[in-house]
Amino acid sequence: EFELIQREQREANGCTERQEWWERRSRLDLRMQSLIQSLDSEVLGCWRGLLLPRDPGNAPLDEQELSRLLRELRECGWESP
């Protein structure tokens, strides 16, 4: 899907009619949003929290984040920390 979106983006870049270009861009943006959401939920799942940026001045996980991470891991089938 990502490759198709990229190919269609290149084709859209050659479009000279402004309204048609915006319509294509809007459709491609929606498809890209759907793809990203799918990757987030189906591929990363509960592990997505590990990719979030952290403030370098803070500990890696505060109590609330750790609690949320453990809950999400258990929802994914992980039984023992």
- Please give the span between the terminal C-alpha atoms of the chain, in angstroms, as a whole number: 36
Residue 22 forms part of a structural domain: yes
Residue 9 forms part of a structural domain: yes
Which residues of the chain, if any, have pLDDT below 70? Answer: 54-56, 58-61, 81
Report the domain count for the chain.
1
**pTM for this model (two decimals):** 0.58
pLDDT at 42: 85
Alpha helical stretches, state H, the chain? 2-13, 18-38, 63-75
Per-residue DSSP letter, 25: H
49: its two tokens: 């929290």
Residue 27 forms part of a structural domain: yes
Residue 72 forms part of a structural domain: no
pLDDT at 58: 66
- Whether the CB-CB separation of 63 and 47 falls below 8 Å is answered with no
Residue 18 forms part of a structural domain: yes
Which domain does 36 fall in, by range?
A: 1-51
